[in-house]
Structure 1
């Protein structure tokens, strides 16, 4: 993993500012603290802050091709680079390093953008063609690695993180009101939009070419499913075996590194499955890492202990106290560069810090299994509601929802609440987005907290309608689970889970995450499976559990899925009986003066919410989401608009500078 940055002026009238480029590398040094490099000529400057994982001695970036007409900087890993290198060497290419970066460059030299189809990996790529004067930017299929850019009158600026772009004096940080509405609907802005106006994210599975003022963006890969009834014809036994074989090979490839590789181990089936496959592929001791919480509702340590004992791993655990979440939250937002509606990224920040403290740079995790194999409750909700919609007046069909949310149904009148909540829009089963509309509407209610001015600017704008209208008509022919899976990936996994909760929290502590479930071969195989192999009755990830038998202890693969959650109001306001006080920044940013100054939220509504949380009154799920949304948005305003940069930025040093023709 690395951080990349760059500037382009196609007129050649404004040569790159080397000092600025060094500061841009400096502000993202957490992504790659090992080495820094730049290439500059009269039109372009590209740079890399490198986290050395493959070819530690000679893999410095930027890297040129043989005649130095092409230069590349690259963030990520190409897992099949040895096989690709062998093909290229047979074709006559000469290599000066053992790195995967150089493999991409020579492959691009031969195939152009079509080279992306050959790559098995996670990546953000920038290639500067000095002859054509063309900049090529590309991002991996699933959006694991970030890549942002903003257009200028005579060029553009790009980088792995938005904060690098904001150092350029030509780039202004302004909140995008529609991106904020998307966040308060989907939990994150949808690419290409970011929370900042005119700063864009290159979408997953896309590449961009910029030359002489012309820009084209193209898709090279997209998530697809077969038409309903045309799924793969395969037995359950064969599907389980093939899934295990694919995951085993995906894990084997992701162990390729010249440094020690560890693994996250939450105690759930996904991460334990990957850790078990690692143990099959290497005789070396495996370091595993997990989080424990002081609140029993969030804690999974008993399952972690079962898994680590069974797999005989060298296990390290970080204890996440409620107040720790509140204390590190500003640092979390500094790295997410976006508002949040959950505190879940904060414990992940503490977890990657534990990995870094143990001198490990790479961890494998189980991300992607829930999206690929129907692991979330939202998929089962959709199934229950469609069953219920056939007999809307049935008294017993909605009772199935209580099996999904026993902690709600156990409350007084909890069953009535579930029935009323999920009855909304019950019979509109033919609407695209049926699976998610109820969640989106519920989250969007938080927009009532927006200021009068923000509400006025958003009149007539509906993020859900905009997203659904952008979808390819082919989705309507897919099975209902396939539709829901596609929407979940597009609106949650790529923009939030792999970003705010994934890449950003790992990169903050110079750790690279690798995800076998998101190997494109695994994803494409899972997409072709019949829905009944994913959800059997109300059992999620059925085929994965079948393939786990004999590989994992029964207590792990038979357990009910426990959603990953983290403390919210108690992290910022402490316990009603006074365990600790709220951090000073909470009082400051939620004060009526600060809320009026930012003019994003209604000061009276914010004061009432803060008082409710402070006094220990019963706080609802909606209150928790509102609190995090308001506080994180105020932090974005404070860190990136009112006080950017909030601390001095040291230029990267030492920096190897390669110069082209002036």
Structure 2
């Protein structure tokens, strides 16, 4: 894992190495072991290294013999050994043992088509000095980030937006349309980011800059068979799917253990991380080190399940205990790394967890991310199924009972009257015609947070509807898919890369120089999962049914049979229990809210007062508070004080080796 950045001056002017050093300096947390930059005519590449494979000779930027090709690469190519052997058979010679050189040689042989051969998680850039072209690529699922912009005649890119902002000529401004998307979907719709004119390279895409032209091309997309073909065919079919899936997961785990440094695992206490931990144990004789988060608040704590799995699998287990004040104390640093507003505090404990991993001397962990999206684990899939029943049976007395079964772990939900539950989750027959049927309750609730927007922000959004932007991005085959698959797509294509793998994944892990690896997101597993009939992913209301079959005997039965409890953390109350945090008072004061211009000062003041007085707090109140506070932090850290008061930047710019 690393940090990458670069500049291509479209007017042909030589790149200023100082700009590259500044860009790389903002990425030292991603690569504390080395910082190097390279310039060649109008192009420049920068790299910060976190050494994991070929510790001695994997230095970047890396070049071919005549330096006609130069690469900076963030991530891992897990099948690099197989690719290298194939290239050696074709007469290609290697100087290092790194996957970076394999990627460079593969591009030398195949050009842009090389991405189809890769099994991994990556963001890389290759400068071709002969063609004077710059090639950027991002992995299929969006595990590793990559951003770019055009500013003052230059194309700039970086692993994180802060690296682009390190160039003084780049303008920094919040995009109200993107803010509207976050306060609807929790994420922006690629290529949009929260900042105007700063774009993300979407997952499964590559980009070429040549002759002053920028071209974007999709090379992979998640796909599902038409609904009529998504039907299970008896017990034999079920057995075959389970067997084939387990074989794929075993191999996906095996190749993700390739590393020249020790590998650990996250253990949440749920099925997904427990299964991955069990599969790791198949390939190592050493006692596996596992890590987890525990909470003082019993509503969120899963420590007993984590310890049960650790005992069952005999791991060397370590946990970090999080209380309210620690979450609130870490929150500014979390936003510095996520670089966007978020509606939950859940990334904060994971930020603290990655620090624990680093302090134990570990740089790599395997985790269970992706299983819920690929195998139907989230409550939103059950919710859609129940709402479909209720739309067809609007007078059924079972409706409130079914709604309560959705969220047994949410005490507030259990106390709600029947009428409230029916109104919140209720589905009219016409709702079933919506392409967003599964997500309507979530998005309708979140979109009401726009009541906190300032008049100016509302004016800039105008008549734009966030759903229209998303609707235009849907693939042509979407409308032929089963409704369950449509819900899976919305989770996998948007929330997964835009929040789970970024704000809760790459950003908070790499903040402490820790690399996460995700066997469930091996593209072979993902493509196989997309072909599994929905009835085998969720049988009646039994989520991840097929995955539970795979886990039989590998994890405790209490874990495989346990109702899914999503990872959550205390939200708004984290900021109002015990220690009073000055930044909260400062950023949410009416004067500051008015100055920054995103929110209505009176509406925010009422919300803050509600928390201070401990009145009945709902889910929307929590999301509103966290969203507003995080947006204010984004303005403070990136728009107003970037490069002036970088009080939340944890690593200095440092020094660099400059090569020409």
TM-score range, shorter chain: over 0.9
Q: Which residue of 1 aligns with 2:7?
A: 7
Q: Which residue of 1 aligns with 2:370?
A: 368
Per-residue deviation, residues 154-183 of structure 1 (Å, max 9, x unmatched): 221100000010011110110001100000
Q: CA deviation at 1:428?
A: 2.0
Q: Which residue of 1 aligns with 2:212?
A: 213
| Residues 412 and 102 (structure 1), Cα distance of their counterparts in 2 relative to 1, 3 Å cut | closer
Contact 1:23 1:651 in 2 (8 A): no
Contact 2:390 2:427 in 1 (8 A): no
Contact 1:409 1:418 in 2 (8 A): no
Contact 2:32 2:49 in 1 (8 A): yes
Q: For 1:436 and 1:412, locate their aligned partners in 2 and report how far apart those are by CA, in whole Å.
A: 23
Per-residue deviation, residues 199-232 of structure 1 (Å, max 9, x unmatched): 0000000000001211100000000001112237
Q: For 1:198 and 1:525, locate their aligned partners in 2 and report how far apart those are by CA, in whole Å.
A: 37
Q: Which residue of 2 aligns with 1:629?
A: 627
Aligned counterpart for 1:538 among listed residues 541, 545, 553: 541
TM, length-normalised to structure 2 = 0.97
**Secondary structure at 1:235 match in 2:** helix
TM, length-normalised to structure 1 = 0.97
1:435 aligns with 2:438: yes
Q: For 1:90 and 1:569, locate their aligned partners in 2 and report how far apart those are by CA, in whole Å.
A: 59
Contact 1:179 1:193 in 2 (8 A): yes
Contact 1:63 1:71 in 2 (8 A): yes
Q: For 1:87 and 1:652, locate their aligned partners in 2 and report how far apart those are by CA, in whole Å.
A: 40
Aligned counterpart for 2:587 among listed residues 573, 586, 589: 589
Contact 1:402 1:409 in 2 (8 A): no
Q: CA deviation at 1:391?
A: 2.0
Q: CA deviation at 1:409?
A: 7.6
Q: CA deviation at 1:393?
A: 2.4
Aligned counterpart for 1:599 among listed residues 597, 600, 603: 597
Q: CA deviation at 1:67?
A: 2.1
Contact 2:338 2:503 in 1 (8 A): yes
Aligned counterpart for 2:304 among listed residues 302, 309, 319: 302
Equivalent residues in 2 for 1:438-457, closer than 5 Å: 438-457=441-460
1:118 aligns with 2:121: no
Contact 2:404 2:414 in 1 (8 A): no
1:657 aligns with 2:655: no
**Secondary structure at 2:470 match in 1:** helix
Aligned counterpart for 1:481 among listed residues 484, 499, 503: 484
Per-residue deviation, residues 489-512 of structure 1 (Å, max 9, x unmatched): 122111111111110000000000
Equivalent residues in 2 for 1:347-362, closer than 5 Å: 347-362=349-364
Q: CA deviation at 1:415?
A: 3.1
Q: For 1:652 and 1:256, locate their aligned partners in 2 and report how far apart those are by CA, in whole Å.
A: 31
Equivalent residues in 2 for 1:161-180, closer than 5 Å: 161-180=160-179
Contact 1:5 1:46 in 2 (8 A): yes
Aligned counterpart for 1:495 among listed residues 475, 483, 498: 498
Per-residue deviation, residues 447-505 of structure 1 (Å, max 9, x unmatched): 01100111111121111122023212311111111111001112211111111111000
Q: Which residue of 2 aligns with 1:620?
A: 618
**Secondary structure at 1:564 match in 2:** coil
1:40 aligns with 2:39: yes
Q: For 2:421 and 2:283, locate their aligned partners in 1 and report how far apart those are by CA, in whole Å.
A: 45
Q: For 1:425 and 1:41, locate their aligned partners in 2 and report how far apart those are by CA, in whole Å.
A: 61
Per-residue deviation, residues 28-49 of structure 1 (Å, max 9, x unmatched): 1000101112210220110110
Q: CA deviation at 1:240?
A: 1.3
Q: CA deviation at 1:654?
A: 4.7
**Secondary structure at 1:47 match in 2:** strand
1:572 aligns with 2:575: yes
Q: Which residue of 1 aligns with 2:281?
A: 279
Contact 1:392 1:427 in 2 (8 A): no
**Secondary structure at 1:296 match in 2:** coil
Q: Which residue of 2 aligns with 1:577?
A: none
Q: For 1:18 and 1:182, locate their aligned partners in 2 and report how far apart those are by CA, in whole Å.
A: 36
Paired residues in the alignment total: 653
Contact 1:30 1:507 in 2 (8 A): yes
Task: Indicate the RMSD between aligned Cα atoms, in angstroms.
Answer: 1.4
1:56 aligns with 2:58: no
Q: CA deviation at 1:652?
A: 4.8
Q: For 1:206 and 1:199, locate their aligned partners in 2 and report how far apart those are by CA, in whole Å.
A: 17
**Secondary structure at 2:126 match in 1:** strand
1:225 aligns with 2:229: no
Comparing 227-236 and 526-535, the one that deviates more: 227-236
Q: Which residue of 1 aligns with 2:95?
A: 96
Contact 2:45 2:72 in 1 (8 A): yes
Aligned counterpart for 1:313 among listed residues 301, 304, 315: 315
Query: What 5-or-longer segments of structure 1 have no aligned partner?
Result: 575-579
1:558 aligns with 2:556: no
Q: For 1:81 and 1:409, locate their aligned partners in 2 and report how far apart those are by CA, in whole Å.
A: 49
Contact 2:536 2:545 in 1 (8 A): yes
Q: Which residue of 1 aligns with 2:609?
A: 611
Q: CA deviation at 1:563?
A: 1.3
Q: CA deviation at 1:651?
A: 6.6
Comparing 594-603 and 383-392, the one that deviates more: 383-392
Q: For 2:655 and 2:86, locate their aligned partners in 1 and report how far apart those are by CA, in whole Å.
A: 35
Q: For 1:643 and 1:149, locate their aligned partners in 2 and report how far apart those are by CA, in whole Å.
A: 21
Q: For 1:565 and 1:32, locate their aligned partners in 2 and report how far apart those are by CA, in whole Å.
A: 29
Q: For 1:319 and 1:255, locate their aligned partners in 2 and report how far apart those are by CA, in whole Å.
A: 28
Contact 1:228 1:478 in 2 (8 A): yes
Q: For 2:502 and 2:280, locate their aligned partners in 1 and report how far apart those are by CA, in whole Å.
A: 25
